[in-house]
Amino acid sequence: MKPASGQTPRIAVVTGAGSGIGRAVARQLLDAGWHVALAGRRPEALAETAAGHTAALCVAADITKAGDVARLFGTAADAWGRLDVLFNNAGIFGPPAGIDEISLADWNEVVAVNLTGAMLCAAEAFRRMKSQQPQGGRIINNGSISAHSPRPRSVAYAATKHAVTGLTKSIDLDGRAYGISCGQIDIGNAATGMMHDVGAGVGALQADGHKLVEPTFDVEEAARAVVLMATLPAAATINQLTITASGMPYQGRG
Pair 178, 136: CB distance under 8 Å = yes
Closest CA to 154 of 105, 232, 206: 206
Q: Which residues are CB-neighbours of 155 under 8 A, at least 6 positions away? A: 97, 98, 99, 102
178 in catalytic set:
no
Pair 229, 243: CB distance under 8 Å = no
DSSP string of 188-226?
E-EESGGGHHHHTTS-EE-TTS-EEPPP-EEHHHHHHHH
CA distance 192 to 214: 13
CA distance 184 to 187: 10
Helices (H), the chain: 20-31, 43-50, 66-80, 104-111, 118-131, 155-175, 196-199, 219-231
Catalytic one of 34, 73, 157, 217: 157
Return the amino acid letter for 4.
Answer: A
SS3 139: strand
Q: Give the active site residues.
A: 157
